Amino acid sequence: MPRKKHSPEQIITKLREAEVAMSTGSKVSEVCRQIGVTEQTFYRWRNEYGGLRIDQVKRLKQLELENGRLKRAVADLTLDNQILKEVAEGNF
């Protein structure tokens, strides 16, 4: 079965729908069927996005992208530094 990629806005909306349904006494399995996700996905979303507003989620995703970019930059610079050290020591 093909996986569907949900946007953070869609996830927040579905989590709110789930909260409303569960407040009326529905079980988690029924709510998951209603919003069209598995229980595992529901719990993962709730742990990651629970209690966040849409603008906060956008900022979180932005920071995650920047963090990944910075990690790659540090890895590249570390590799360059190691190469330069080896060349300077004559161990090439």
Give the pLDDT confidence of 16-71 residue by residue, as tens digits: 999 999 999 999 999 999 999 999 999 999 998 888 788 888 898 899 999 999 99
Helix, strand, coil percentages in the chain from 3-state DSSP, rounded to 5: 75, 0, 25
Between 71 and 6, residue with greater pLDDT: 71
Give the pLDDT confidence of 9-28 residue by residue, as tens digits: 899 999 999 999 999 999 99
- Best CA proximity match to 61, nearest among 7, 23, 4: 7
Distance CA 61, CA 8 (A): 9
